Chain A
């Protein structure tokens, strides 16, 4: 059993961490003078962050590269990707990819 006071204080602190990290450069009222290269570099940040978050989720299993073709994620990504470049739609991509994923996971146990 987790002590309620401990979990409550811990969770409250986690909320503070969210506020501090998401607002890190937003607290100060003073002008934030970023060097020109940093401003230019930030343009790559959204793309880089997205890929950094999802790439390990796609190609790793417990920290090791996928080593079998019987992994539902491979086909979900292939079908989702094909759908995206065919129709340019994110909704269809999610639905098609997830359908393939579930079919292979539930049907074949991949």
Chain B
């Protein structure tokens, strides 16, 4: 309980509320998509509760409906989730000292939003006592709002108008966080490179354009660091 009373828990919680509104719109649309694609109510609820990965769920749905071989289904989700493998190397720097079961639980809950907010709050990747309460505050609110919205989408599938493109609110939320991470020329260049590569390689299958873009942008960032001799990207 001391975790919940920690001021950093509150901070993680409150810093997640605004962007989670956009992410919840994404969850709502994902919930609708699960039911509309033909999953039963209970399978859709099972899927959101245990898989907890919107982009992998959306990629998996047409495969499940088509009755694709299970290994194809799982391999697809693995590729779509590859960016999380990169995040997990980062998480290891913060949480490597914790017991394994706790590490893996934290990793499971660490979606894109929790990851970027955490890395913004703690740019220095070394363990600090404030990190765990911040993480739980952020992850708890993110889980509640995503699952709440997803369940709402599942239940109201026939009444949510998907043609409005409400899920674009999720893009706006992540765009806002992107802006808040931009500080100094190097971060602008790295962001520009990531965006360009993600769009230019969009034709790659299985959303592999995303890891490709991360890889190239990180490489460019490192080259900039080498050339300009500052240590790391500046932070606000």
Contact = CB atoms under 8 A, between A and B. Distances in A.
Contact of B73 (A14, A38, A102): A14
Interface string A89-110: 1110110011001100110000
B215 to A, nearest CB: 8
A59 B41 CA distance: 34
B92 A73 contact: no
B136 interface: no
B198 A50 contact: no
Interface string A6-39: 1111111111111111111111010110100111
A13 B103 CA distance: 20
A81 B78 contact: no
Contacts of B169: 94, 97-98, 101
B202 A22 contact: no
B81 A21 contact: yes
B87 A45 contact: yes
Given A45-B90, A84-B179, A94-B172, A8 B43 contact: yes
A89 B88 CA distance: 29
A19 B104 contact: yes
The SS class assigned to the B binding surface is helix
A76 to B, nearest CB: 6
Nearest to B48: A11
B156 interface: no
Given A6-B67, A90-B177, A14 B56 contact: yes
Interface of A: 1-4, 6-27, 29, 31-32, 34, 37-60, 63, 65, 72-73, 76-77, 80-81, 84-85, 88-91, 93-94, 97-98, 101-102, 105-106
Given A14-B56, A48-B217, 16 more contacts: A9-B70, A10-B70, A18-B51, A18-B56, A18-B108, A31-B96, A44-B218, A46-B119, A49-B214, A50-B178, A54-B175, A84-B179, A90-B177, A94-B19, A101-B169, A102-B166
17 contacts: A7-B39, A8-B43, A14-B47, A26-B104, A27-B104, A31-B96, A32-B92, A34-B93, A43-B123, A43-B233, A45-B86, A47-B181, A49-B86, A52-B210, A77-B175, A97-B169, A98-B168
Q: Which 10 A-B pairs have the closest CB atoms?
A: A48-B217, A55-B195, A23-B107, A52-B213, A91-B18, A44-B221, A90-B176, A21-B81, A15-B50, A52-B198
Interface of B: 17-19, 21-22, 25, 38-40, 43, 46-47, 50-53, 55-57, 60, 64-65, 67, 70, 73-74, 77-78, 81-93, 95-96, 100, 103-104, 106-108, 110, 112, 115-116, 119-120, 123, 125, 163-166, 168-169, 171-182, 187, 190-191, 193-199, 202-203, 209-211, 213-214, 217-219, 221-222, 225, 231-233
